[in-house]
Amino acid sequence: MENSDIISSTVADMTSVVTDMTSVVTDMTSTVTDMTSTVTDMTSAVTDMTSAVTDMTSAVTDMTSTVTDMT
């Protein structure tokens, strides 16, 4: 093999490696984006549940007060 052939082959191999690495980074970025979205959705769900529990607690307090007033 001549030097130019070796250099061309090496450059082709390096280009292939960089392409593969770029693909991996793209996939990882997509995964992180999906995970972030999932965490956001879970946080929203927990917030909604907390609000519901607060509302139920308030309702129980009101009912207890009403029963107390009736007795």
Indicate the average pLDDT of the chain. 96
Q: How many domains does the chain have?
A: 1
> Is the whole-model pTM more than 0.85?
no
pLDDT tens track for 55-67: 999 999 999 999 9
Name residues whose C-beta falls within 8 Å of residue 45's C-beta, 6 or more positions apart in sequence.
none
Query: Phi and psi (nearest 5°) for 55?
Result: -65, -40
Asked if residue 1 has pLDDT above 80, the reply is: no
Range of the domain at 10: 1-71
Backbone angles phi, psi at 2, to 5 degrees: -85, 165
pLDDT at 3 over 90: no
The pLDDT tens digits for 14-71 are 999 999 999 999 999 999 999 999 999 999 999 999 999 999 999 999 999 999 999 8
